[in-house]
């Protein structure tokens, strides 16, 4: 893998594609390549795009990519589908709408789906973003089918997260939306030419009010486009970020400039008061803990004899010990094995 | 906590409520109480109920609880909301519809939301189920806002999982639905008096066909109610389980008997060929690994000096080392500390 590092840095697309495959499949040697590339990361702006199926996320990513390309920026896109032996990601028709970007060398699109755990998918996505970053893309967009912890984990690698809504996706105030709103830096109401768009905007405003009680007046007087842009544009960096609500019709290219302005405003906001540094630090901490947990588990399973875990499970199933006691036993066993090795 | 064990086993509701609170807040002493109660678990039938907001999950749980009560069975209900500092679970209006069950001593309802991680929520839910099980409830229902890995984790503690759909929730074939279908033992199309119900059933059948290609003919000839019941009723245990699609109008009590028949059929299916044993084993294995990961991490953080992790994060942020190398360093440091203690 290490031999692909220089070609990737030099802009070789095949080297990039091969390293992405290696990341997805956890090939041996990929860790060294990632370590070698790591000093070359940290330059791309990483945009997460999430939202329920049917909100037109892919069309939005597509339209944004076009627009950034017109500005002369290069764009890498990672489309992350939930790992599912059931779907295999194959029943999503969304990919088709991306086609018109192919042929442009300044755009690189990759669909990701690992067979392993969702934790594995988050890890692979993080590494894939680093590959695109090191390969020199100005903008990296990660599209995920938004709902639940897996998407939250994946989006944690992004600097600016767009949450996409659309009219008529259920007008109830939804707990699940609340979870997603937490991670939103910009709210995009796509398909804004459809009936019910005012309801959707109203619903989102109500959710924002619940989440940001301090800013209730600001939200109440706000009628549906860019909320916190004025202070940022005036050069004053606002004390906190209130996700703007932006209307768009991605398939027609409508509102795309507004979305870009909102993204830039969020970028300006992060640039102030070392916020970007803090955000990066937070992401690194999460990643480090994830990796440590996985590594500790791997070491544990190497220490204790094959079959020991199965025996413990037998005893739990027979209700001889409970899972809490079982953990204590396995750890004590590990300590004994290590002590033996060292003495 | 241990003093609450006997009262709980004797049916004291206040002891149950206090232990549930202790589980939610990870109070000291709860582990011993859970260990003492563990031999008394494994008797309840555990039903997971999941589905998108607006599908009427709570009404379904409510109607099922009523119906099981009429059969003389006792029912425990755990309503699990996603952990969210944003929502705090408070904006869900669903709880209100449960009210008419209060006053019945054979029903116990509890809403759960831990402040911690989603992993923590899954753990707390598992322990809460055990408390209800040990307290002698015949049926334990867990209701989760369905979508994403967190719900999958929570539902992994259930023996029979109902996935609730409703007409008009978006007719696209959805990758996210595919993920949820994987965990469905019974598909309930609720609000079956609403327009579009045939579309919803058709969509679900199409998804089932994708997932169970072997049974394509069976599904194609199937017009919307209980699929695999006939063989089970004949005393033949089918070779695999095809989730039946059951129509219901929970608020009117319509179709509830059909849902119960489907649940019983699944229970009969699991009873055959040691499938229930295998399922339990699988659940135990998942839980044991979860707990081991958490315990290993706790031990690691106790071994290495405070500040060491922060220093490593500094160096990652400065791009001096990459996260993969950092993990190696931290583990080596742990080994040295242990060796020092032992020598």
CB atoms within 10 A of CB A46: 23
A170 contact B CB<8A: yes
Query: Looking at residue A81, what is its pLDDT?
Result: 60
**Mind listing the pLDDT tens digit for each residue in A294-337?**
899 999 988 888 788 899 999 999 999 999 999 999 998 888 87
Q: Distance between CA A109 and CA A128 in Å, rounded?
A: 12
The pLDDT-based confidence of B41 (bands split at 50, 70, 90) is very high
**Which of A43, A179, A291, A300 is the best residue to mutate to test the B interface, defined by the most B CB atoms within 10 Å of its own CB?**
A179
Nearest CA of chain B to the CA of A135: how many Å? 16
**A178 Cβ under 8 Å from any chain B Cβ:** yes
pLDDT of residue A171: 42
Q: Select from A182, A321, A324 the Cβ nearest to the Cβ of B31.
A: A324
d(CA A260, CA B173): 30
Most A CBs within 10 Å: which of B59, B117, B292, as the mutation test of the A interface? B292
Question: Region B159-164: what's the mean pLDDT?
Answer: 92
Please give the class, per CATH, of domain A39-273: alpha beta
- Smallest CA–CA distance, residue A70 to chain B, in Å, is 32
CB-CB contact of B78 with B143 (8 Å):
yes
pLDDT tens, residue by residue, B124-146: 889 999 999 999 999 999 988 65
Position B70 scores a pLDDT of 94
Report the residue from A181, A291, A323 with minimal CB separation from B291. A323
**Residue A226 above 60 pLDDT?**
no
Residue % of chain A over a pLDDT of 70: 75
Residue B274 contacts residue B267 (beta carbons within 8 Å): no
Q: Has residue B97 got a pLDDT over 70?
A: no
Closest CA to A236 of A208, A261, A277, A273: A273
pLDDT at position A199 is: 83
Categorize the per-residue pLDDT at A223 as very low, low, confident or very high, splitting at 50, 70 and 90.
very low
| Weakest mean pLDDT among A92-96, A176-180, B119-123 | A92-96
- What is the Cα–Cα distance from A46 to A127, expressed in whole angstroms? 13
Other beta carbons less than 10 A from residue B61's beta carbon: 27
| Distance between CA atoms of residues A303 and B27, nearest Å | 31
Q: Are B219 and B208 in contact (CB under 8 A)?
A: yes
Which CATH superfamily includes the segment(s) B39-275?
A: P-loop containing nucleotide triphosphate hydrolases (3.40.50.300)
Cα-Cα end-to-end distance for chain A = 39
Q: Are B201 and B190 in contact (CB under 8 A)?
A: no
Query: Per-residue pLDDT tens for B184-214?
Result: 899 999 999 988 888 888 878 877 776 665 5
Mean pLDDT of B102-124: 74
- Closest residue by Cα to residue A148 from A199, A95, A84: A84
Do residue A54 and residue B89 have CB atoms under 8 angstroms apart?
no
Over residues A76-87, the mean pLDDT reads 59
The band of A112, judged by pLDDT with boundaries at 50, 70 and 90, is confident
Write the secondary structure of chain B as one string of H (helix), E (strand) and C (coil).
CHHHHHHHHCCCHHHHHHHHHHHHCCCCCHHHHHHHHHHHCCCCEEEEEEECCCCCHHHHHHHHHHHHHHCCCCEEEEEECCCCCCCCCCCCCHHHHHHHHCCCCCEEEEEECCCCCHHHHHHHHHHHHHHHHHCCCCEEEEEEECCCHHHHHHHCCCCEEEEEECCCCCCCCCHHHHHHHCCCCEEEECCCCCCCHHHHHHHHHHHHHHHCHHHHHHHHCCCCCCCCHHHHHCCCCCCCCCCCEEECEHHHCECHHHHHHHHHHHHHHHHHHHHHHHHHHHHHHHHHHHHHHHHHHHHHHHHCCCCHHHHHHHHHHCCCCCHHHHHHHHHHHHHHHHHHHHC
| ipTM exceeds 0.90, yes or no | no
Q: pLDDT tier at A30 (50, 70, 90 boundaries)?
A: very high
pLDDT band at A102 (very low <50, low <70, confident <90, very high): low
How confident is the prediction for chain A on average, in pLDDT?
Answer: 80
Whether A209 contacts A178, CB under 8 Å: no
Domain boundaries, chain B: 39-275, 304-342
What is the mean pLDDT of the segment spanning A80-106? 50
Q: In the prediction, which pLDDT does A89 show?
A: 36
Share of chain A above pLDDT 90, in %: 41
Instruction: Search chain A and give the residue with CA nearest B174.
Output: A53
Query: Distance (Å) from the C-alpha of residue A184 to the closest C-alpha of chain B?
Result: 12
Angle at B110 between CA B290 and CA A206, to 5 degrees: 90
Contact assessment for residue A165 and residue A189, using Cβ atoms and an 8 Å cutoff: yes
Q: What is the pLDDT of residues A329-343, one digit of tens each?
A: 999 888 887 777 666
pLDDT, position A192? 93
* Per-residue pLDDT at B230: 40
Whether the predicted pLDDT of A55 surpasses 50? yes
- Tell me what the mean pLDDT of segment A267-272 comes to: 88
**Full-model pTM:** 0.74
Average model confidence (pLDDT) for chain B? 80
Does the distance separating the beta carbons of A147 and B323 come in below 8 Å?
no
Instruction: Let me know the angle formed at the C-alpha of B312 by B309 and B318, rounded to the nearest 5 degrees.
Output: 145
Provide the percentage of residues in chain B whose pLDDT is more than 70: 75
pLDDT(A113) > 80: no
Q: Do B323 and A291 touch (CB under 8 A)?
A: yes
Task: Specify whether the CB–CB gap between A156 and A286 falls below 8 A.
Answer: yes
Judge contact between A19 and A112, C-beta under 8 A: no
How many other CB atoms are found less than 10 A from the CB of residue B232? 21
Range with the poorest average pLDDT among A39-43, A105-109, A250-254, B209-213: B209-213
Q: What pLDDT, on the 0 to 100 scale, is given for residue B115? A: 54
Q: What pLDDT shows up at residue A115?
A: 54
Predicted confidence (pLDDT) at residue B239 exceeds the cutoff of 80: no
Distance from CA of A13 to the nearest CA of B (A): 23
Taking the CA atoms of residue B164, residue B170, residue B173 and residue B174 in that order, the dihedral angle to the nearest 10 degrees is: -70
Identify the band that residue A211 occupies on the pLDDT scale cut at 50, 70 and 90: low
């Amino acid at each position: 893998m290490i031999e692909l590092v220089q070609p990737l840095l030099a802009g070789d697309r095949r080297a990039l594609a091969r390293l992405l495959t290696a990341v997805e499949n956890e090939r041996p040697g990929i860790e060294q390549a990632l370590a070698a590339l790591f000093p070359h990361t940290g330059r791309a702006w990483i945009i997460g795009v999430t939202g329920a199926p049917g909100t037109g996320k892919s069309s939005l990513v597509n339209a944004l990519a076009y627009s950034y390309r017109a500005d002369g920026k290069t764009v890498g896109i990672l489309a992350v589908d939930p790992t599912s032996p059931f779907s295999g990601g194959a029943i999503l028709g969304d990919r088709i709408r991306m086609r018109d970007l192919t042929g442009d060398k300044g755009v690189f699109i990759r669909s990701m789906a690992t067979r392993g755990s969702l934790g594995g998918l988050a890890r692979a996505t993080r590494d894939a973003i680093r590959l695109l970053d090191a390969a020199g893309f100005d903008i990296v967009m990660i599209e995920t089918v938004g709902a639940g912890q897996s998407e939250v984990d994946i989006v944690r690698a992004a600097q600016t997260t767009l949450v996409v809504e659309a009219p008529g996706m259920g007008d109830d105030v939804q707990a699940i939306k609340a979870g997603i709103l937490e991670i939103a830096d910009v709210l995009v109401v796509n398909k804004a030419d459809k009936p019910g768009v005012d309801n959707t905007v109203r619903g989102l405003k109500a959710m924002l009010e619940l989440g940001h009680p301090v800013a209730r007046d600001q939200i109440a007087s706000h009628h549906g486009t860019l909320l916190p842009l004025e202070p940022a544009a005036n050069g004053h960096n606002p004390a906190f970020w209130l996700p703007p609500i932006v209307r768009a019709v991605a398939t027609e290219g409508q509102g795309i400039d507004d979305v870009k302005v909102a993204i830039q405003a969020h970028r300006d906001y992060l640039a102030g008061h070392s916020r970007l540094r803090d955000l990066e630090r937070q992401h690194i901490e999460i990643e480090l803990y994830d990796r440590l947990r996985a590594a500790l588990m791997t070491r544990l399973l190497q220490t204790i004899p094959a079959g020991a875990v199965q025996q413990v499970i037998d005893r739990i199933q027979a209700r001889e010990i409970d899972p809490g006691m079982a953990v204590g036993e396995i750890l004590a066993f590990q300590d004994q094995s290590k002590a033996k090795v060292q003495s």
